[in-house]
Amino acid sequence: MNRNSMIGSAWVGKHVVMITCDIKNNRFLRISSSIHAPMEPVHVTCAETIAQFLRIGYQISYVTALNSEETLFILTQ
C-alpha cells in the first residue's frame, strides 16, 4: 500500500483505552489511550466512565487487579 495515499485517511486499526478504577468505591482513577483513540469525557464513577466507552463501540477485552485497591480495564474498538 502506498503510504502517501493514507494521509488524511481514517485509522483502521485497533484503538485501545486503559481505565484504572478503585472498584470497592466505584471511583475512576486514571485513563490512558492510544494516540488516535476516540475518547469520551471521564466521570467520577468507574461504572459511568466504562459505560460511556461501551456506548461508543468499545468492548472490554481484559480486566485485571493491579493491587488490592486498583483494577485495570482494557477496552478496544
pLDDT on residue 1: 45
Strand order in the sheet with 70-76: 27-33, 16-22, 70-76, 59-65
- The CB-side HSE value for 39 (13 A sphere, CA atoms) comes to 12
pLDDT on residue 55: 96
Each of the 77 residues of the chain gets a pLDDT tens digit; together they read 444 555 555 556 689 999 999 999 999 999 999 998 999 999 999 999 999 999 999 999 999 999 999 999 999 99
**Is 34 within 8 Å of 75 (Cβ atoms)?**
no
**Is 44 within 8 Å of 27 (Cβ atoms)?**
yes
